[in-house]
């Protein structure tokens, strides 16, 4: 296969020019503000992309889960931060093995019990493991301020673990609309994180990592003193949801361009309707948006089952025939990518590479 039109559908396409521009823009923005860049790999789950991020200046990548991190480590990626707590004996044993393989990996903790279990396993293995505290902003983690400071102190008192800093991820801030509300929310959260850092430092504990932020908040968080690192994910691909969160000027969020699409084929045609071969198994459906057909003004997509979508042509002058290809902006990139085995990396119309989504399905 050389040309995009030879790719069996439905399939994921990545416009490399746009992708590279997105990565360069984010890397330059953070470099200029002296923030580390540790992009979140839960978006792409793809070692080839992680390597390109590191080539662009990233210090490593975040993964949401241990099993994802194992895949990236096995592909030689270092500088891993596992952003979810690792719970229970069997997973802790795997985390220790990962730390042996990739000693700079950072894990996060929320409770002293989990900390003690990890420290014990590290001691048994004769290793030292890096632990950051996960700060609570509405989902998981320990409360900012005194509770977090207590947990930091507890880490420093355990042998075989090293206090790595603070993870301050406010997931809801990323999608807060409009921009001003997002700025208020994310600044508030990040300032709490920085205050917690100062409390920890007043205890004489070094705290050189405050990591957080997202595609939606990087403009905000990267201006805050005391935040050391930004971990955005979707910026490299973009999707319908992120386009809609609103930019600083109140219009669409245009910091990055839409690089990821899903291509489908028209497989059935009736007056006013074209059925494509992409349904619930081709697009994640967790956002209240339908896939957006590209270059077909007035055409709308409707869900038509696990393997089918229905294009309404009645309000459009566009014609489509059986066999025609249609490209879509996906509603939400991360869980859409998780449905596919490979990303087709395109330079214009040509397939430059086919990248395995090696950590697809690694939600454990």
Does position 340 bind its own copies by CB under 8 A? yes
Q: Which residues of 75-91 are buried (b: 16+ CB within 10 A; e: fewer)?
A: eebbbbbbbbbbeeeee
Does position 44 bind its own copies by CB under 8 A? no
Does position 10 bind its own copies by CB under 8 A? yes
Q: Which residues contact 284 (CB under 8 A, 6 or more apart)?
A: 330, 331, 332, 334, 335, 336, 338, 339
Name beta bridge partners: 259.
none
**Residue 323 near residue 308 (C-beta atoms within 8 A):** no
Q: List the Cα angle 361/348/242 in 5-degree steps.
A: 50
**Residue 37 near residue 61 (C-beta atoms within 8 A):** no
Residue 250 Cβ vs its own copies, minimum distance, rounded to whole Å: 26
Q: Kindly indicate which of the ranges 152-160, 236-244, 272-280, 312-320 contains the residues binding its own copies, using the contact rule CB under 8 A.
A: 272-280
Does position 111 bind its own copies by CB under 8 A? yes
Residue 273 C-alpha from the chain's centroid? 35
Q: Kindly indicate which of the ranges 48-56, 158-166, 241-249, 330-338 contains the residues binding its own copies, using the contact rule CB under 8 A.
A: 330-338
Distance CA 192, CA 111 (A): 19
Residue 300 C-alpha from the chain's centroid? 28
Residue 57 Cβ vs its own copies, minimum distance, rounded to whole Å: 25
Share in percent of the chain as helix, strand, coil (round to 5): 35, 25, 45
Residue 267 Cβ vs its own copies, minimum distance, rounded to whole Å: 5
Q: Which residues contact 157 (CB under 8 A, 6 or more apart)?
A: none
Q: Kindly indicate which of the ranges 73-81, 88-96, 183-191, 194-202 contains the residues binding its own copies, using the contact rule CB under 8 A.
A: 88-96
Residue 130 Cβ vs its own copies, minimum distance, rounded to whole Å: 19
Distance CA 13, CA 19 (A): 11
Query: In the complex with its own copies, which residue's Cβ is closer, 224 or 333?
Result: 333
**Residue 54 near residue 79 (C-beta atoms within 8 A):** yes
Name beta bridge partners: 26.
none
Q: Kindly indicate which of the ranges 7-15, 149-157, 200-208, 291-299 contains the residues binding its own copies, using the contact rule CB under 8 A.
A: 7-15
Residue 268 Cβ vs its own copies, minimum distance, rounded to whole Å: 4
Selected from 120, 140, 160, 257, the binder of its own copies by CB under 8 A is: 140
Residues 288-327 that bind its own copies (CB under 8 A): 303-308, 310, 322-323
Backbone torsions φ then ψ of 22, nearest 5 degrees: -60, -45
Selected from 76, 103, 145, 171, the binder of its own copies by CB under 8 A is: 171
Query: In the complex with its own copies, which residue's Cβ is closer, 19 or 340?
Result: 340
Can you give the binding site for its own copies, defined by CB under 8 A? 6, 8-11, 42, 64-65, 67, 84-85, 87-88, 90-91, 110-111, 113-114, 136, 139-141, 171, 265-268, 270, 275, 277-278, 280-282, 284-286, 303-308, 310, 322-323, 332, 334-335, 338-341, 360-361, 363-364
């Amino acid at each position: 296969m050389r040309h995009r039109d030879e790719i069996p559908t439905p399939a994921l396409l990545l416009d490399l020019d746009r992708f590279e521009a997105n990565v360069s823009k984010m890397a330059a923005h953070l470099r200029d503000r002296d923030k580390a860049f540790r992009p979140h790999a839960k978006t792409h789950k793809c070692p080839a992309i992680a390597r390109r991020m590191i080539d662009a200046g990233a210090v490593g990548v975040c993964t949401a889960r241990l099993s994802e991190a194992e895949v990236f480590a096995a592909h030689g990626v270092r500088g891993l931060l596992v952003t979810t707590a690792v719970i229970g004996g069997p997973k802790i044993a795997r985390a220790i093995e990962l730390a042996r393989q990739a000693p700079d990996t950072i894990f996060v903790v929320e409770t002293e019990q989990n900390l003690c279990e990890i420290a014990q396993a590290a001691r048994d293995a004769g290793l030292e493991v890096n632990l950051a505290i996960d700060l609570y902003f509405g989902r998981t983690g320990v409360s900012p301020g005194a509770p977090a400071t207590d947990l930091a102190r507890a880490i420093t008192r355990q042998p075989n673990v090293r206090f790595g800093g603070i993870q301050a991820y406010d997931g809801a801030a990323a999608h807060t609309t409009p921009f001003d509300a997002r700025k208020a929310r994310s600044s508030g959260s990040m300032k709490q994180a920085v205050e917690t850092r100062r409390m920890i430092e007043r205890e004489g504990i070094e705290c050189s990592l405050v990591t957080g932020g997202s595609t939606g908040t990087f403009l905000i968080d990267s201006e805050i003193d005391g935040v050391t690192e930004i971990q955005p994910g979707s910026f490299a691909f973009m999707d319908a949801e992120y386009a809609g969160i609103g930019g600083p000027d109140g219009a669409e969020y245009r910091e990055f361009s839409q690089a990821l699409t899903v291509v489908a084929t028209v497989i059935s045609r009736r007056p006013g309707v074209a059925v494509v071969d992409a349904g619930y198994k081709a697009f994640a459906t967790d956002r209240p948006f339908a896939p957006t057909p590209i270059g077909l003004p007035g055409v709308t997509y409707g869900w038509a089952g696990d393997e089918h979508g229905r294009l309404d042509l009645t309000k459009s002058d566009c014609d489509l025939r059986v066999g025609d290809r249609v490209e879509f902006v996906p509603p939400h990139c991360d869980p859409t990518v998780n449905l596919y085995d490979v990303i087709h990396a395109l330079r214009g119309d040509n397939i430059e590479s086919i990248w395995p989504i090696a950590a697809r399905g690694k939600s454990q």
